Amino acid sequence: MSETLNAIILGIIQGLTEFLPVSSSGHLAILHEVLGFETESNLFFDVVLHLGTLIAVVFFYRDRIKDIIKGGLFGIKSLAQRKGIKESFFTSADSKLFTLIFIGSIPTGIIGILFKDFFEGLSGNLIYVGLALLTTAVLLVLFELKKNATNKITEMKVCDSFIIGIVQGIAIIPGISRSGSTIATGKLLGIDKETAANFSFLLSLPAISGAFLLQLKDAVEEGFVYQNYILIGFLVAMVSGYFSLKLLIWMIKRSNMYYFAGYCGVIAVFALMW
C-alpha cells in the first residue's frame, strides 16, 4: 500500500477518533502494526495529524477562544493594577475559564515532559494498547452511570481543572482516549456533560500545541525530511476532525456513551488477540 493512501487512511482515522472517545493514539498504534505503515518518524507523523485536529478545534471554538483570550487579558490587566487574584481572574466566566485552562494545563505539561518517551514507547506493544482501551471503555460506562452532574463553568473549582489536567496527561498512553477520559472525569466531578465536553476540548489546545512543538524540535534535531504524504494526512485529519467534533457534541446532547464503550471493548479485544 502506498504511503499516500496510508496517510489518507490514518488521517481519516485520526480525525474521526481524536474527538470521539475511542482513542486516536490507540487506533494509530494498531494501524501502524496492522498496515505495516513505517516512516522515518512515525511519532512525528502522528503529531502532525494531531496538529490537523488542533486546527479543527480552533476553528470550531473560534468565537469562544476570542472571549477566553479577552478574559485572560482582563485578568492580567486587573492584576497589574494591584487588584486581587480572585477579583482579576474569577469575576467573569471568561476570565475564570482562562484560569481553569491554565491550571489544568500545568499537570498535563509536567506529565508530558517527564513521561512522554515512556508512554509513547507503549504504542509498539498492542497488549498495553488493548488494556488502555479497556480502561477507556470503563470510564465511558462510569460517565453514563453518574447522575446529578449539573455544575457549569461558574461552579467549577480549581481542583476540578487540576484533576482533569492530570487525567489529560495520563491520556498520553496509547489507548486512553483523551476526550473520553477527561469528559468522563469532569462528569464524575459533578460537572454538566456539555460543560465537561467543551472544557475538555478547550483544554486540549495548549496540550496538543505543546506536544507538537516538542516533537517538531526532536524531528529537526534528527534531520527530518519532509514528505508529501505528511501534508495529505494533515489536511485529511483537519477536515474529518472538524466533523467528528460536531458529531460528538451532538451525541453528548442527544445520545449516550455506551455505544463508544462497546466499540472500545471490541477494539481492545482485537488488539490483545493481534
Q: Which residues of the chain have pLDDT under 50?
A: 39-41
Question: Does the predicted TM-score (pTM) go above 0.85?
Answer: yes
Convert the pLDDT of each residue in 216-226 to its tens digit: 777 677 666 66
Number of domains within the chain? 1
Q: Cβ(68)–Cβ(94) under 8 Å?
A: yes
Domain of 237 in residue numbering reads as 3-273
How does pLDDT run across 243-261, given as a tens digit for each residue?
Answer: 999 988 888 887 788 889 9
Cell of 119: 508512554
d(CA 255, CA 249): 10
Q: Give the per-residue pLDDT at 231.
A: 86
According to DSSP, the residues that pair with 191 across neighbouring strands are 151
